[in-house]
Chain A
């Protein structure tokens, strides 16, 4: 049965999704702007400097022309934190996110990228079977909903890698795999970006965690000190590879490295890498149980 509260909240979530998708594509967060400025200040190679100054100019032009930062509107990925007392069922939240994605795509208009995996025919305005993609987290003792939209471009998503290391490979095996993955990716994922790494859990969950990692504000550190230390080490190592901006050679290969972890089986050591391009777009909304929405570019 659909109640008035349900209808209002459904509308609020749909509006939020439609707004977030376009907003994320146009107005990148301050921490990312700062990281790109910082990178431009540190880069010493000529092609690398050329790339970074063009990126900074592009961000300004997107602001002044109110245009998209990048033409690749990606696949719409949302992360939802749902309070146990939030009065709209997740099934309805999903339907509202899908409707909002479609509306934004048609009204703007945005390029629609969604196709059937086998026939390659377009399946809808950036929606289709199991599109958009939603990551769920449920929070006890809370009545709110946080929605974060992360439009994920294909150039960087194509540079995703999974390896089932064995326990004897240890932390060294994890580091080697991340390094070889980013060197192998070269200029294809639009460096310098955020390297998301998922470790532990299972094969599928490690990649899920890697995607969670790229959605964090840049340079935030994992609360587990062992993981945070690995983030710092990998960040430094990755910038020693010399791949540089757009793979043309230089000092800045990545803006940062974020790691999420899950405990795992005693004989497993999975490591997943998910790359986020320099246009690391994200935008959030905090939704109250009465339908009030607060937008937040920095979360």
Chain B
């Protein structure tokens, strides 16, 4: 299992170098997104007012404080469960060129094929580790769709963001699939012992 350092936005070539289980640390710009943001883009047909080409999307609804000049200051920023949003994976890659989706808990198997075909990865972050994650976010640079607060589109500048684990790579491998398959076999053995 290799370790990598990547700056986002990035390219398909960089993404295809990653393998499930690898450790990744990220710098650059990442975009916060959540259930309502993606429902607005794909179910209500509104174009996102940010460029998502090569982007790293983070499943988050940050805790923030609004300053007098209208900008937002971070309070506590963590990551939510990804599985609820798996159906947006394919259109995010196909239509907008998104390269990485980061969240916690993993994606079910339906994400494996679009990620392989389109050259995307799923990064596993440690859910609940928000105090640490907040220190790795340098600044909230942009907020769009404020009326969806806190499920807006957020642009964060990050440094040393991670450690992340490649949960699903762009070659058809998924740690979640493998862990589930082994656990289902193990369950049969455990049931026989009960």
A contact set with B: CB distance below 8 Å: 46-47, 50-51, 54-55, 57-59, 61-62, 65, 67-73, 108-111, 153-155, 158, 172, 175-176, 179-180, 183, 186-190, 237, 240-244, 246-249, 277-279
Contact = CB atoms under 8 A, between A and B. Distances in A.
Contacts of A179: 187, 190-191
Contact of B77 (A71, A158, A190, A237): A71
B81 A71 contact: no
A68 B76 CA distance: 7
Interface in B125-177: 126-135, 150, 163, 165, 167, 175-176
Contact of B80 (A67, A155, A277): A155
18 contacts: A47-B1, A50-B163, A58-B130, A61-B131, A65-B131, A65-B134, A69-B130, A70-B129, A111-B62, A111-B150, A155-B81, A176-B191, A188-B106, A240-B190, A241-B190, A247-B105, A247-B179, A277-B128
B106 A111 contact: no
A221 B137 CA distance: 41
A280 to B, nearest CB: 10
B119 interface: no
Given A62-B131, A248-B167, A186 B63 contact: no
B25 to A, nearest CB: 11
B176 A186 contact: yes
List 7 tightest A-B contacts by C-beta distance, closest first.
A71-B78, A62-B131, A58-B129, A188-B105, A71-B130, A111-B63, A190-B127
Contacts of B6: none
Contact of A242 (B60, B78, B186): B186
A71 B129 CA distance: 8
B93 interface: no
Contacts of A67: 75-76, 130-131, 134
A172 B191 CA distance: 8
A104 to B, nearest CB: 13
B127 A241 contact: no
Interface string B67-109: 0000000011111110100000000000000000000111000
A240 B183 CA distance: 9
B1 to A, nearest CB: 6
A190 B128 contact: yes
Contacts of B134: 65, 67, 71
B133 to A, nearest CB: 8
B129 A249 contact: no
Contact of B194 (A154, A176, A278): A176
Contacts of B23: 50
A45 to B, nearest CB: 10
B175 A54 contact: no
Contact of A278 (B61, B77, B128): B128
Contact of B63 (A50, A68, A155): A68
B20 to A, nearest CB: 10
B65 A109 contact: yes
Contacts of A46: 1, 21
Interface in B1-33: 1, 21, 23
A254 to B, nearest CB: 13
B180 interface: yes
Contacts of B183: 183, 241-243
